[in-house]
Amino acid sequence: MLELTTIGYVAKAPRRDLRPAPNERDIKRDFSERLNQLCDEVGIPPKFKNRQTTVGKQFGVSQEAARKWLEAEGLPKFEKCIEIALHFKVAIDWLLTGRGARRPGEKPKLAFTREEVAAARKVAEIASSYAED
């Protein structure tokens, strides 16, 4: 791609995706929310009613490992994520990222990060301040 500048045409690299990379804390939090949501939907007992023990037994891990997943303190290994996705019959990409179709064959729900939503609101706010009445 060439861009015209004051010194002539200059080669310019194509623009890359400007979304910030998610941080580890956000990834753990979002995974935990999705896992807890799936547990609620299939009737796994709620928090403080043996949810950690039930999830641990279901996936062959310790209660401590299940606690870390459910409380956004850790993430399962990829192989275990596949097992979880298969058990709950959800798409692995949805389980891991929240993007795409939740279940294979479903129409994907458009998902945006919190940062994208905040940026869009800011742009709309600025644009509305320039709008003509």
Task: Give the pLDDT of residue 133.
Answer: 47
How many structural domains are present in the chain?
1
The answer to the question of residue 5 being in a domain is no
pLDDT above 90: percentage of residues in the chain: 50
| 116: in domain | yes
Longest dimension (CA), the chain: 70
Residue 2 lies inside a defined structural domain of this protein = no
d(CA 64, CA 57): 11
The encoded tokens of residue 89 equal 């019959």
Tell me how many degrees the CA angle 25-120-1 measures, rounded to the nearest 5.
95
> Considering the domain boundaries, does residue 7 fall inside one?
no
Arithmetic mean of pLDDT, 34-46: 95
Has residue 91 been placed in a domain? yes
Domain containing 70 equals 23-130
pLDDT over 70 at 34, yes or no: yes
Q: pLDDT tens for residues 66-80? A: 999 999 999 999 999
Per residue in 83-122, pLDDT (tens digit) is 999 999 999 989 998 888 888 777 766 656 677 677 777 7
Q: How far is 96 from 35, CA to CA, in rounded Å?
A: 10
Indicate the SS3 state at residue 74: coil
Q: Is residue 1 part of a domain?
A: no
pTM for the full predicted model: 0.66
CATH number, residue 63: 1.10.260.40
- Residue 79's alpha-carbon distances to 26, 48, 50, 59, 109, in angstroms, are 21, 27, 24, 11, 25
Contact 76, 69 (CB under 8 A): yes
Amino acid identity, position 50: N
